[in-house]
Amino acid sequence: MTKILLTGATGYIGSHTWLALVDAGFEVVGVDDFSNSAPAVLPRIARLSGREPVFERLDVGDTAALSALVARERIDAAVHFAASKAVGESMEQPLAYFRNNLGGLISTAQALQANGVHCFVFSSSATVYGTPEALPIPESAPLSTANPYGLTKLHGEQLLRELERCDPRWRIAYLRYFNPVGAHESGDIGEDPRGTPNNLMPYVAQVAIGRRERLQVFGGDYPTPDGTGVRDYVHVMDLAEGHVAALRRLLDGADSMTVNLGTGRGHSVLEVVRAYERASGRRVPYDIAPRRPGDVAACYADVGLAARLLGWRARRDLAAMCEDSWRWQSKNPQGYA
Ligand code: UD1
């Protein structure tokens, strides 16, 4: 069986991708330092996947420990999620972001290279498109960043492209995520943000469950149909399956690829609120607040390349994203705690 190293394995996208990989017949070796996730995810992965998870608590910055694990487990390929992802935090601690995200990436690549592993899936983000010039956004759109977090994604891509140029044994999938939301359909794993959620859907979920009073809608005067920001929300299980598709292509010998993972459809903040109210049967009171600095009016993916290259298309709609998020939220009102 093909063995995949999953870094950031107990985080939000990592844990869902773990299940999708097992489902697709891969063996998974997970690592995480629990800097933004909880060990409580592991027994749930065990139950949902029907296997005892192979896991090591490890900081990917520890190249020697990671390399020893890659050797011992005879890893064939890696999916690298381990990174910090909060834009605001990255502006307060840029160096910590450079070290964790870029240092962690370099260390992971070194540990793989030391063991002759050159098949790699990198978590990139639609944030690399900056303020889009045209919609939907194709992979060929100009790239720019507006904060340290975004810079770590853009420079992470550039660093890996240079690595490939120098050593063509590397085959890399650069997956640019739009807005991952929702949860596994069991409602037993999901997103468990620490402190106040930065992102829309976890915030809406906490208002619906009564942990927070009202949503602040950041901006009601954007040039969008209802004045609120438009994003391409993609179900985290669709996203997870996108990783499986990319990995399969690479393992089959495909060349490196840069691919958007989104639905190709934009939804406004108010559409999300209404869909969540329908899914949960709860009210989500909100106020229109000033725009959040750095936000763009609208952002959604051109998904043509993902379909052509990966044969992958997001299948779950906004209603399913909200229903699955709500199942997770209502079964686990305090997250994994
Ligand atoms: C954000 C990050 C992006 C990152 C992505 C995934 C910013 C500026 N961008 O994307 O770099 O890759 O998360 O982690 O932080 N909204 C509200 N009220 C809220 C929260 C959000 O109205 O309390 C609105 C936002 O203005 C936006 C939409 O909801 O229009 C989605 O916001 P969010 O979930 O934070 O995602 P992005 O800003 O697209």
Per-residue confidence in pLDDT tens, the chain, 337 aa: 999 999 999 999 999 999 999 999 999 999 999 999 999 999 999 999 999 999 999 999 999 999 999 999 999 999 999 999 999 999 999 999 999 999 999 999 999 999 999 999 999 999 999 999 999 999 999 999 999 999 999 999 999 999 999 999 999 999 999 999 999 999 999 999 999 999 999 999 999 999 999 999 999 999 999 999 999 999 999 999 999 999 999 999 999 999 999 999 999 999 999 999 999 999 999 999 999 999 999 999 999 999 999 999 999 999 999 999 999 999 999 999 8
Spell out the alpha helix ranges (H) of the chain: 12-23, 41-49, 63-73, 87-92, 94-97, 104-113, 148-166, 200-209, 236-251, 269-280, 304-305, 318-331
Q: What is the largest CA-CA distance in the chain?
A: 56
Ligand 1 residue neighbourhood (C-beta within 6 Å) = 85, 87, 125, 127, 149-150, 179, 198-200, 203, 215-218, 229, 231, 269, 292, 294-295
Q: How far apart are CA 156 and CA 7, in angstroms?
A: 15
pLDDT value at position 235?
A: 98
Encode 276-313: b = buried (16+ Cβ within 10 Å), e = exposed.
beebbebebebeeeeeeeeebbbbbbbbebbeebbebe
3-state secondary structure of 266: coil
* Side-chain-facing half-sphere of 272: CA atoms under 13 Å: 31
pLDDT value at position 337?
A: 86
Supply the residue whose CA is at minimum distance from atom 30 of ligand 1.
229
Q: Which of 12, 129, 149, 203 is catalytic?
A: 149
Of the candidates 228, 330, 214, 336, the one whose C-alpha atom is nearest the C-alpha of residue 279 is: 330
Domains, the chain, in order of start with CATH, read 3-181+234-262+300-314 (3.40.50.720)
Q: How far apart are CA 263 and CA 314, in angstroms?
A: 5
Supply the residue whose CA is at minimum distance from atom 13 of ligand 1.
199
- 177 in catalytic set: no
Phi, psi of 168 (to 5 degrees): -70, 0
Q: How far apart are CA 261 and CA 316, in angstroms?
A: 13
Single-letter code of the amino acid located at 243: H
Of the candidates 242, 249, 256, the one whose C-alpha atom is nearest the C-alpha of residue 180 is: 242
pLDDT value at position 119?
A: 98
CB atoms within 10 A of CB 39: 12
Ligand 1 atom closest to the Cα of residue 218 is 22
How far does the centroid of ligand 1 lie from the alpha carbon of residue 305, in Å? Answer: 25
Ligand 1 atom closest to the Cα of residue 203 is 23
Q: How far apart are CA 278 and CA 302, in angstroms?
A: 28
Cβ within 8 Å of residue 310, ≥6 positions away: 242, 245, 246, 249, 257, 259
Q: How far apart are CA 299 and CA 130, in angstroms?
A: 10
